[in-house]
Amino acid sequence: MPFEELDHTADIMIRVRAATLDELFSEAAEAMFSIMYQQCADLGYNETIVTDGADLEELLHDFLSELLYVSEVKGVVFCRAAVSIRNSSLRATCSGEPFNPEKHIRGTEIKGISYSGLRIYKEQEAYVLDIIFDV
């Protein structure tokens, strides 16, 4: 998974790189859940997430926040996200499996997505995302 953890004093900060915005958002979702859980398999549980945002940062924030909410409320662990971004709208099909405390050894609980430090930019031929997860 193309993400790296960066030094941060209290929370978790990561940097994600991808060739397209769709891939960047997908990788960000997968990175978030890999931080939270050590194992996940696509066992046929699918959830569609649809959201809009005024800009890319708001769109990403709302997408990841909705994933956290759905995960908590429905007791599911996501491991894949197929994202499609068109203008200011996002549609994602996220797949995974029901949460199982025997299988899903918790990594670090993520409580929210911070707007602080949230930045999406282009670097050469790749899109880059810096994001802080509140723990």
- The pTM (predicted TM-score) of the whole model is 0.91
pLDDT digits (tens, 9 = 90+) for 74-131: 999 999 999 999 999 999 999 999 998 888 877 889 999 999 999 999 999 999 999 9
The contacts of residue 42 (CB under 8 Å, 6+ apart) are 79, 80, 95, 96, 97
Region for residue 124 given its phi and psi (left: phi exceeds 0; alpha: psi -120 to 50; beta: otherwise): left
Does the domain at 3-134 match CATH 3.55.10.10? Answer given as yes
Domain locations along the chain: 3-134
Q: Quick count: other Cβ atoms within 10 Å of Cβ 59?
A: 21
pLDDT digits (tens, 9 = 90+) for 29-84: 999 999 998 778 788 899 999 999 999 999 999 999 999 999 999 999 999 999 99
Residue 3 has pLDDT above 70, yes or no: no
